[in-house]
Structure 1
């Protein structure tokens, strides 16, 4: 599932407490793994929802002196107008679309799946949601940006998610992905999609991390977008 790295471990999974009728696929940030976010999501779990936290493949990252680390795609610089790894971003996005397809084969329709992520993972979740023909239930994008933004709106011409709800969160004190990046991304999302469905929430004092308030806001978003089915 993770490109050419055949040894990448299987995703960290928080199973539903009963039969899973919905799923959240959540992508970690640069240098991390799915395990930490699986633990965090377990703390806000909803009984009928399965949480899937895949691990990025290990690759040399230009931003960090080409040191190998878990990364969804290469990052050249942290500046907003930096060169981007277009081929890597598209390859990673295709891998996430394949993961969504696998959950559909497992019996969970795509419109009962929320895609989300933190930092680089949030960036990939936004790009994937805007370029897929799979209809999703929503996106949770934390402390991130929209990759390959100059390829839009053409890149999203066949997107099935123009009316999809997006919950975007960003720490006002973020030193790694500046708050202005998140704010600009939210405005671009409003231009590309139904602006009424784009929510951008700032968290004063929060740096490049998450906090309990944010996690509870995420839980409320998931509960709203993935309600129990009638027979649950």
Structure 2
């Protein structure tokens, strides 16, 4: 991976159990977190590294930028928004973030990983960005996952699929019913709208789960990733 890519998403962490991998997973953290932060969180939940023998797992960190819900304070967020609400209009920074993270996907392709062996996803805001990447810019990837995540009610993702729904990336979504930050109804509504547009996917939930990661959730996610990108 080029020095410029590493510099852009510093700290950028790569988990790789073998010297040669035949696929990649790009895991995007939630707002205010970092690549090392989400990796450590996954480790603490699983009791082991979030890793695969045949896949490279990439944990980028969002470049710091002003974040309106924090009064304009600088934070490691993938994009800005006026407030945390399903009815807020998307900002241009979301498209900019898609272009930034696209460089990671392109770097994997240059390293010999076909797009159809790349999975991208994330937690909360990271999951939202992954959905935009999968259904607006990189429709050839193997799969997309969104944990405790969302799309705006009038998201450009829906518009993009309506304009060209010829190739839709498989989706894995998980949302806790006790989530008080990204309400369960918001996540479920996002999934149902995508499903109504032809997206094939899985929607899992736990009745007690809040805005957090869970062992059962991550184990199901790992199984799904292996199904989408099998070990050759």
Q: Do the structures match in fold with TM over 0.5?
A: yes
Q: Which of 102, 106, 130 lines up with 1:101 in the alignment?
A: 106
Unaligned runs of 5+ residues in structure 2 are none
Unaligned runs of 5+ residues in structure 1 are none
Describe how 1:147-186 pairs up with structure 2 within 5 A.
147=152, 149-156=154-161, 157-158=163-164, 161-162=167-168, 164-186=169-191
Q: How far does the alpha carbon of each residue in 1:31-85 deviate from its partner, in whole angstroms, 9 at most, with x for none?
A: 0001122232662421011000110011111101211110111121112112332
Root-mean-square deviation (CA, aligned residues, Å) is: 2.1
- Paired position in structure 1 for 2:231: 228
- Paired position in structure 1 for 2:28: 27
- Cα distance in 1 for partners of 2:152, 2:132 equals 6
- Paired position in structure 2 for 1:64: 70
- Paired position in structure 2 for 1:55: 61
Alignment length, in residue pairs? 222
| TM-score, length basis structure 1 | 0.88
Deviating more after overlay: 114-123 vs 62-71 = 62-71
Alpha-carbon deviation of 1:151?
A: 2.9
Alpha-carbon deviation of 1:8?
A: 4.5
Given that 1:129 and 1:161 are in contact with CA atoms closer than 8 Å, whether structure 2 keeps it comes out as no
- 1:91 counterpart = 2:96: yes
**Alpha carbons of 1:136 and 1:56: their partners in 2 closer, same or farther (altered >3 Å)?**
same
| TM-score, length basis structure 2 | 0.88
- Cα distance in 2 for partners of 1:44, 1:133 equals 24
Alpha-carbon deviation of 1:127?
A: 1.0
- Cα distance in 2 for partners of 1:73, 1:153 equals 19
- Cα distance in 2 for partners of 1:96, 1:158 equals 22
- Cα distance in 2 for partners of 1:50, 1:83 equals 34
